[in-house]
Amino acid sequence: MHDGHDHDHNHSTTFQPDHDTGPASPYEVLEAAVRELLIEKGVLTKEEIAKQIDMTDSRSGALGAKVVAKAWSDPAFKERFLKDCRSALAELDIDIGEVAEFVVIENTPDVHNVVVCTLCSCYPKLLLGIPPAWYKSLAYRSRTIREPRAVLKEFGTDIADNVEVRVHDSTADLRYIVLPARPEGTDGWDEDQLAAIVSRDCMIGTAVPKV
């Protein structure tokens, strides 16, 4: 989806750091019910589910930042990453499973990308870790589609009027990862230095790397 015009609204919702969003959502309740049913039917064991949860919990945005730094430093890897995310990550011994397709979207001088999941909170957990609370909030899920520039501004990210803002809606079958643009002034930096300026939010699209 594309943002082709400015919006003149009173933006009363400013997104805050991660916090508890309160009672479980209908999707979380459904997930718990399905999980119990799978265990009851013998499809999965509690141990197998716990192992998968532990693996997911061990992931964080630092893993994605490492991949971004690699793409910035290695043009050939970047090309493979944009073309086939799963295969490129496998080169770095990063397993993102087979449940959903992963697509990499690149920020350029002309286009800024931002990711949302309007239905629930589909998110590349195996690369970025647990999603932030605001990503799952109704305010973010509904407003990002309608007024992306206003939402980005509330995150402190001002996008120039001549830059197109594209909103990508994740689903259970398709997850997006933003490849942020490499900032000027980072020539000669090694991958560790580059990874240090890439936050989780940069790979969602609500922030940009800053030197």
Work out the average pLDDT over 41-53. 70
Does the annotation mark 117 as catalytic? yes
The maximal CA–CA distance of the chain, rounded, in angstroms, is 57
Q: Clarify whether 121 is annotated catalytic.
A: yes
Residue 195 lies in a domain: yes
Same domain, 28 and 69: no
Same domain, 111 and 132: yes
- In-domain check, residue 98: yes
Catalytic residue among 73, 120, 137, 142: 120
28 and 95 housed in the same domain: no
d(CA 110, CA 7): 20
Last residue of a domain, one of 58, 78, 107: 58
Same domain, 138 and 200: yes
In a domain, 18, yes or no: no
H-helix segments, 59-146: 61-73, 75-83, 85-91, 125-128, 133-136, 138-146
Q: What is the mean pLDDT of residues 137-157?
A: 96
Identify whether residues 66 and 165 lie together within a single domain.
Answer: yes
Q: Are residues 70 and 166 in the same domain?
A: yes
Q: How many domains does the chain contain in total?
A: 2
CA distances from 22 to 25, 26, 61, 123 (A): 9, 12, 24, 20
The pLDDT tens digits for 5-25 are 333 333 334 555 444 445 666
Same domain as 137, residue 64: yes
Query: How much is the pLDDT for 6?
Result: 36
* CATH number, domain with residue 136: 3.90.330.10
Question: What pLDDT was estimated at residue 53?
Answer: 57
Range of the domain at 71: 60-211
What's the whole-model pTM score? 0.76
54 and 81 co-located in one domain: no
Last residue of a domain, one of 39, 58, 77: 58
72 is a domain residue: yes
41 and 134 in a common domain = no
Instruction: Give 57-103 pLDDT, tens digit per residue.
Output: 555 689 999 999 999 999 999 999 999 999 999 999 998 888 889 99
Cα atoms in the Cβ-side hemisphere of radius 13 Å centred on 39: 12
Residue 1: both structure tokens together: 């989806």
Q: What is the pLDDT of residues 148-181, one digit of tens each?
A: 999 999 999 999 999 999 999 999 899 999 999 9
- 71 and 172 both lie in a single domain: yes
CA distance 8 to 16: 22
Is residue 31 located within the same domain as residue 105?
Answer: no
Identified catalytic residue from 85, 121, 170, 202: 121
DSSP states of 132-181 as a string?
A: PHHHHSHHHHHHHHH-HHHHHHHTT-PPPTTSEEEEEE--SSEEEEEEPP
Q: Residue 122 has what DSSP assignment?
A: -
The mean pLDDT of 26-37, rounded to a whole number, is 75
Catalytic pick among 25, 58, 87, 117: 117
For tokens 């594309």, the residue is 2
Question: Which of these is catalytic: 85, 122, 170, 199?
Answer: 122
Residue 9 falls within a domain, yes or no?
Answer: no
Amino acid letter for position 55:
M
